[in-house]
Amino acid sequence: MEETDNNQPKSPSRMITIAAVAALTLVAGGGGWVVGAMLAPPPAEKTEAATEPTAEAHGKQKEDIPKLATEANGIVQLEPITTNLAYPSENWVRLEVALQFQGEPDVTLAEEIHQDIVAYLKTVSLQQIQGPRGFQYLRDDIQERVDLRSDGRVTNVMVRTFVIQ
């Protein structure tokens, strides 16, 4: 008869395993919180100006904030263009464009360019302007038309919004 050896080491009990997992979870959570606090920007503090009522609430006019797209900066914002496409004619396009002039901006030239863009958009089909490549072709075509119309006085055409419905 062989005797079994009862002196073999016992495997750790369930309670010790649960305690070890819980301790490691707390350490990992604490470490994540510390690293997150180091990486995240501090919350913005409320200033007195933010808590005070605005000037508009008191009936005073709000100071004008200078915009980048101004004639003083050589940029003319054209009126929004809304027109239907050539095919299918039930689709509409809305386009807002700004022109950057070299030197002093010419408002009459900007209006002529505006009308030229409207006329061009009426000849475009939906298939020509679909997707990113179609949009790039549209931008290139508009830039080419503007270059021809302005004789190089307009250096950049900025598409502000472009919506097809």
Architecture of the domain delimited by 71-164: 2-Layer Sandwich (3.30)
Taking CB atoms within 8 Å and a gap of at least 24, the contacts of 106-115 are 106/153, 107/71, 107/76, 109/149, 109/150, 109/153, 109/154, 110/76, 110/78, 112/149, 113/78, 113/145, 113/146, 113/149, 113/150, 113/154, 114/78, 114/79, 114/81
Q: What is the reported pLDDT for 38?
A: 81
Q: What is the pLDDT along the chain (165 residues), one digit of tens a residue?
A: 555 556 666 666 888 999 999 999 999 999 888 888 888 777 766 555 555 555 454 444 445 545 555 666 788 889 999 999 998 889 999 999 999 998 888 889 999 999 999 999 999 999 999 999 999 999 999 999 999 999 989 999 999 999 998
